[in-house]
Amino acid sequence: MTERTRRDFLKQAAGATAAIAVGAAAAPLAAAEKENRMKFAFCNEPFYNPQRPDEWPQARVFEFLAQCGYQAVEIAPFTINPDVTLIPDAQRNDLRRAADQAGIQICGLHWILSKTTAGFNLTSPDRDVRTKTSKYLGELARLCAELGGDVMVFGSPMQRNRAETAEQAISMVEAYQNAADVLKAVVPVLESTGVTIAMEPLSTWETNFLLTAEDGARLKNLVGSPRVSFMLDCKAMWAMEPEPIPDVVRRYRGQFFHFHANDPNLQGPGFGQLDFVPIFHALKETGYNRWVSVEPLEYSPGPERLARESIRYMKECLAKV
């Protein structure tokens, strides 16, 4: 091989090696960008009408939300049965199959104790009440996993309120300890199912226990398991946090497990004055890559409009960050 031929060969080899290196570096970068992408979900209860249950069967809800562009649906158990122990295996399988056929995922459950009638309570001074609450949370975790979900949002304000009557009043310290004991008892089931409980801070007009992200982090640390965490809810942060929502997101980066998008007017994103561009910027900046789930609580625009316009607005906001 002549010296010139050798130089040409080395240049070609070096170029090929560089191309391979660039490609190898670009692959994980592209994967990282894809992994860092937020995913949109919508809660199913705006479609629920107990007077007309056949109007929006779950399969139709799944199909509609998939058509809107959502990647997942968050299920309120009472829209299936107020007592999840009465949901047979066949119905659970049908729900999972219907979601799969619609091309949408069931990401988890919320309003997990709403409409229950067994007297569950997270902070109750009554040990028997706390024990049965733990057992039922375990049943919910099994349902969640069987539907394909991995998160249970514990909002359910009435089932976590701290007793304040003269006969049952307990201190806030006791309330946190009682809540931690209930949640610790569920951890083995959470570990076996791969489900995480995400405590939802709520405002004072909803509950008297666990009002801020700081409260959620405190309870998470008391339990001491990665299967018990907390989440952030926009309308609750707007009402209760002493700093802007994007700053809360940054302060608790890597700590919260789930995110609810809604407006302080209780409708969906884009239906009020809350600007989601800085919120999504903070979520993207902090590497949040799980579900941004739309949870409206005021349904007057109708479920179809809430779903369609919320995701359109969120995509517009996300395109700006």
Residues 70 and 22 in one domain: no
pLDDT score recorded for residue 155: 97
**Residue 14, both tokens:** 């070096």
- Collapsed DSSP state (helix, strand, coil) of residue 146: helix
Instruction: Provide the number of structural domains found in the chain.
Output: 2
Residues 201 and 271 in one domain: yes
- Determine the average pLDDT of the residues in 269-278: 98
Residues 159 and 294 in one domain: yes
Mean pLDDT lowest for which of 6-10, 184-188, 203-207?
6-10
User: Could you tell me what percent of the chain has a pLDDT over 90?
Assistant: 85
8: left (phi over 0), alpha (psi -120 to 50) or beta: alpha
- Determine the average pLDDT of the residues in 119-139: 97
Residue 7: pLDDT above 80?
A: no
- State the sign of the Cα–Cα–Cα–Cα dihedral 302, 303, 307, 308: negative
- Tell me the HSE value of 122 on the side-chain side, using a 13 A CA sphere: 30
Residue 29: pLDDT above 70?
A: no
d(CA 286, CA 164): 39
Residues 12 and 151 in one domain: no
Residues 183 and 162 in one domain: yes
d(CA 107, CA 267): 21
pLDDT score recorded for residue 308: 98
How is 181-237 classified by DSSP, letter by letter? HHHHHHHHHHHHHT-EEEE----TTT-SS--SHHHHHHHHHHHT-TTEEE-EEHHHH
Residue 162: pLDDT above 80?
A: yes
pLDDT score recorded for residue 27: 41
Burial class (CB in 10 A: 0-12, 13-18, 19+), 320: exposed
d(CA 114, CA 85): 14
pLDDT, tens digit, 9 for 90 and up, residues 164-203: 887 788 999 999 999 999 999 999 999 999 999 999 999 9
Residues 73 and 18 in one domain: no
pLDDT score recorded for residue 165: 81
Residue 5: pLDDT above 90?
A: no
Residues 160 and 259 in one domain: yes
Q: Which domain holds residue 128?
A: 39-318
- Return phi, psi of residue 142, to 5°: -65, -45
The pTM of the full predicted model, rounded to 2 decimals, is 0.88
Residue type present at position 277: V
Read off the pLDDT band of 225 (50, 70, 90).
Answer: very high
pLDDT score recorded for residue 183: 98
Residues 67 and 82 in one domain: yes
Read off the pLDDT band of 125 (50, 70, 90).
Answer: very high
d(CA 44, CA 77): 10
Contact 236, 203 (CB under 8 A): yes
CATH number, position 154: 3.20.20.150
> Which of 12-26, 36-50, 268-282 reaches the highest mean pLDDT?
268-282
pLDDT score recorded for residue 37: 78
Residues 309 and 219 in one domain: yes
- Determine the average pLDDT of the residues in 225-233: 98
Residues 25 and 106 in one domain: no
- Determine the average pLDDT of the residues in 278-287: 98
Residue 256: pLDDT above 70?
A: yes
Residues 220 and 256 in one domain: yes
Greater confidence, 254 or 53? 254
